[in-house]
Chain A
Amino acid sequence: MPKRIILHVDLNSFFATAEQQTNPSLRGKPVGILKAIGRTCVIAASVEAKKYGVKTGMAAFEAKKLCSAIILLPADFDKYADITYRFINICKTYSPTCEVFSLDECFIDISETEKFFNGALACAFEIKDRLKSEIGDFMTCSIGISHNRLLAKLASSQIKPDGLFTITEDNALEILDQSDLLDVCGLGFGLYTHLVGLGIDNFPKLRLCSLYFLNKHFGSYWSLHLYNVSRGIDNSPVMPLAEIPDAKSVSRTYTTHRLLTKKEEILKLMRNLCEETANKARQMNLCGRYVGLALRSSQKSYWGHRTLKTYIDDGKRLFDLCCQISQSWPIDHVRFCGVTLGMLTKNQYLPIPLLPSDKRQLDLMSTIDRINKRFGDYTIFPAQLLGMDIVRPEVNGYFGDRKFRLNFLRNN
């Protein structure tokens, strides 16, 4: 393989910086972003808040304890999505091989195109400038340059905020050895604890392991991955926008901020998530025949699924199935609910309904979808959801369904 040049661009403290961009009086102050008003989980923290040890996923009261001056704001996902969209538009002008890795991260393979921009460093500086002139003067990013994705991402994490760092074959191992295993591999905590259990807690030790030893403990897939990672080897291509594989499943989960004790409330939340899931599937032109439901209270968790013979994509049927699944569960108090629609296929492959009642249902649904598309989501919604705050677990939406998120970026 000829030597590649890959940039990893990472917006610094994305959600918090976006708020500091919008409201200059928040700049230089510790800011935490909550999922929504009244929610207790910090989903992002500003550079200043991070200095106090505030981390993503922390409860609001913990963040307050660490930093009493912290300003907690509800997330504004419309705003973040708009910034992401413009950020990607900047990145993709440097190469068609541009992979949106998350809302604030993107890989660009400029091996073929860097010569048009006077080299990788010039590209990186130009991206930084354009971020400021086209999105806002407070926006910064860290950019890593290297010959593969693994090292490019490692490079961008070296200096934050507003960093620029290059990893070459000469310094790759040195940088790896200074890094934490957990920061680099994307292995998940399970694998990490397994490694530590074997006494392997850094890269030099991992590199000493033979492939045979790793294979014995981690199986063929992860052993090779670990072997390569420890040597800074990563041959995976940057996946351009147009070639993202189809989603395997759509799901929506929600953790309530108070315990739901009434059966009616629990069913409402369930219906809400069913509608969200089905909606999202329809927007992606998908339907599925696997239904999964999870409910959790503080002590117990329940999980069940059904596989159907026919594909479905409407919220009511999804809900009816969830009711069947949970029929025997003694649901009295709920903290968490998750609904999944899996085994997806394109809905254009579905047969045309034969029965008049099915046809009517289909017409009704597409009419509702059209009205909601024109006037806004939930202009028309099931009466069951009356009298509750409709939940829109957008974070999941963006981070969960990659395909949907990317379609959204492509179509906007």
Chain B
Amino acid sequence: MSYETSINESIKIWAFFDPSTPLGVNIFPIAMNWRRRLIKFHKLIFTSSKKIGEVKILNLVCASETANFELEYNTQNQLWKLKRIMPQN
């Protein structure tokens, strides 16, 4: 089985903005609507941030029941992208 599938699509995400979230970011994605399917997240596995010029981009890896999803959040225009899907280990 492949260890990742690149997606790179814009998507809609439901997220909490909560300053007490662990792992250093104050966003916690709850669910997403992708290809007319609702996928719920139950855990934030990893976050990192980078800057492209002055724009801060967050990378979040979220776990659902069946797979892990890497999301990208642009803090300037507040848009989300689904970067890749990774199988559970």
Contacts and interface: CB of A to CB of B under 8 A. Distances in A.
Given A22-B45, A137-B45, A376-B52, 15 more contacts: A21-B45, A22-B61, A24-B63, A25-B1, A25-B87, A25-B88, A25-B89, A26-B89, A78-B48, A79-B48, A82-B49, A82-B50, A134-B23, A373-B53, A376-B53
A375 B53 contact: yes
Interface in A22-46: 22-29
A322 to B, nearest CB: 28
Contacts of B70: 22-23
Interface residues of B, number: 24
Interface of A: 21-29, 71, 78-79, 81-83, 86, 133-137, 372-376, 379
6 residue pairs, one from A and one from B, having the closest CB atoms: A78-B50, A376-B53, A375-B53, A82-B48, A24-B89, A376-B52
Q: Could you tell me the dominant secondary structure of chain A's interface residues?
A: helix
Contacts of A71: 3
Q: Could you tell me the dominant secondary structure of chain B's interface residues?
A: strand
A85 B87 CA distance: 28
Given A22-B46, A79-B59, A86-B24, A373 B87 contact: no
A24 B86 contact: yes
B24 to A, nearest CB: 6
Interface of B: 1, 3-4, 22-24, 45-46, 48-50, 52-55, 59, 61, 63, 68, 70, 86-89
A23 B53 CA distance: 27
A135 B49 CA distance: 12
Nearest to B2: A25
Contacts of B24: 86, 134-135
A391 B26 CA distance: 34
A27 B89 contact: yes
Contacts of A135: 23-24, 46
A133 B23 CA distance: 7
A135 B63 CA distance: 16
Contacts of B54: 373-375
B64 to A, nearest CB: 12
Contacts of B59: 79
Most B CB contacts (10 A, CB to CB) among A24, A86, A133 go to A24
12 contacts: A22-B70, A23-B86, A24-B89, A25-B3, A79-B50, A134-B24, A136-B46, A137-B45, A374-B53, A374-B54, A375-B53, A375-B54
